[in-house]
Amino acid sequence: MKHGNHTIHKHCHHTVWDNSLEPVMSVKPGVSVNFEVHDASGGQLSPKSTSQDVPNLDFSKVNPVTGPVYVEGAEPGDTLEVEIEHFGTLSWGWTAIIPGFGLLNEQFEDPYLKVWDLNNQNIAQFADGIEIPTKPFPGTIGVALPEAGEHSVVPPRKNGGNMDIRHLTKGTRLLLPVWVEGALFSVGDTHAAQGDGEVCGTAIEAPMEIQLKFKLHKGKTIQEPRFITPGPLTTGLDEQGYYVTTGHSDDLMVASKKAVEYMIEHLSETYGLSDQEAYALSSVAVDLKISEIVDVPNYLVSAYLPQKIFK
- C-alpha span between 311 and 300 (Å, rounded): 30
- 6-228: which CATH topology? Jelly Rolls (2.60.120)
Across 153-307, where does the E strand assignment appear? Answer: 156-157, 160-162, 173-177, 185-191, 208-217, 226-228, 242-249, 287-292, 299-306
Asked whether the domain spanning 238-309 has the same topology as the one spanning 6-228, the reply is no
pLDDT of residue 10: 60
- C-alpha span between 117 and 101 (Å, rounded): 24
Domain boundaries defined on the chain: 6-228, 238-309
pLDDT of residue 4: 53
pLDDT of residue 232: 87
What is the model's pTM?
0.95
pLDDT digits 0-9 by tens, 205-251:
999 999 999 999 999 999 999 999 999 887 778 889 999 999 999 99
Which CATH number applies to 238-309: 3.10.28.20, 2.130.10.10, 3.80.30.20, 2.60.40.420? 3.10.28.20
Q: Which residues of the chain have pLDDT under 70?
A: 1-5, 9-11, 15
Helix (H) or strand (E) holding 137: strand 137-143
pLDDT digits 0-9 by tens, 67-102:
999 999 999 999 999 999 999 989 999 999 999 999
pLDDT of residue 234: 77
